Amino acid sequence: MKSKEKKELHAKSIKELSKLVVETKDALAGMKLDKTQNKIKNTSILSIKRKEIAQMLTIIRLKELAEIQEAKNEKTNK
């Protein structure tokens, strides 16, 4: 994944990222099926997709933690 694509992921909301994770997981499942049927020639795509999913999940977690931190800061400032 290129840095431009990573920046685009950071700009998306948690819901959009979650939807994208589900779509990518579905694509990965299809690729795994194709691999077992010997339809896929470049199997390195599987590891790339897994890494993309991990990056998306990491961004989601970072955003969740940022929201939690903001909520804590608002409580302490009141």
pLDDT per residue over 23-78, tens digit each? 999 999 999 999 999 998 999 999 999 999 999 999 999 999 999 999 888 888 76
Q: How far apart are CA 28 and CA 56, in angstroms?
A: 14
Higher pLDDT, 13 or 77: 13
Q: Delimit the domains of the chain by residue range.
A: 15-77
One-letter amino acid for residue 9 of the chain = L
Residue in 18, 20, 16 with CA at minimum distance from that of residue 1: 20
